[in-house]
Amino acid sequence: MVAEAAVYDDGREPTTMISDADLEHLRRAVELAAEGLEAGDEPFGSVLVSGDGTVLAEDRNRTADGDQTRHPEFELARWSATNMTPEERAVATVYTSGEHCPMCSAAHGWVGLGRIVYASSGEQLSTWRAEMGSPASPVRNLPIREVVPGLVVDGPVPDLANRVRELQRRHHNASTS
């Protein structure tokens, strides 16, 4: 059952719709982002789901001890390379609280994972960070499909994007107080 159409901030037509099952996995990704924040990490979370809808793995940001490459999307890409066949990876979906950064998009593309659904876009994150006065990312923000052409990508989802924005605001306040 289709719950909500994806809304794109770059004006392109949605390729697919966000289903109730998609929303459930996306909510879990945002919950993992909140868990990351509670643990002193940045609020990002991701869930890897097989072609038949089974949750295979999930992770959250783990950059607090200084390794800025420990993004959940990167960990899931590497997990999939170790634990899944190429055929299984191609039909799997990654749900994530925030759109993949270029490093994670590249890892996703290199291991041949399938669709990505995100709650909030990289463009939204950049805008929020600028509004809050957070330092700019050292890595340029690029849409996933500029890094991995042809990949099916859906998002953002407005309600969940608002929740992610709130988590980012709390993270900013905690890191500046």
Count Cβ atoms within 10 A of the Cβ of residue 142 and give its class: 0-12 exposed, 13-18 middle, 19 or more buried.
Answer: middle
Nearer to Zn ion, 49 or 144 (CB): 144
Are 94 and 48 in contact, with CB atoms under 8 Å apart? yes
Give the Cα separation of 116 and 169 in Å (integer): 24
* Min separation Cβ 172 and Zn ion, Å: 18
Nearer to Zn ion, 22 or 42 (CB): 42
Nearer to Zn ion, 19 or 126 (CB): 126
Bridging pattern class, strands 45-49 and 93-98: antiparallel
* Min separation Cβ 146 and Zn ion, Å: 14
- Contacts with Zn ion by CB under 5 A lie at 71, 101, 103-104
Nearer to Zn ion, 56 or 142 (CB): 142
Are 105 and 148 in contact, with CB atoms under 8 Å apart? yes
* Min separation Cβ 73 and Zn ion, Å: 5
* Min separation Cβ 120 and Zn ion, Å: 13
73 noted as active-site residue? yes
67 Rama class: left (phi>0) / alpha (psi -120 to 50) / beta: beta
**Could you say which of 42, 73, 75, 99 is catalytic?**
73
Give the Cα separation of 143 and 148 in Å (integer): 9
Residue 45 pairs in a beta bridge with 60
Which residues are tagged catalytic?
A: 73
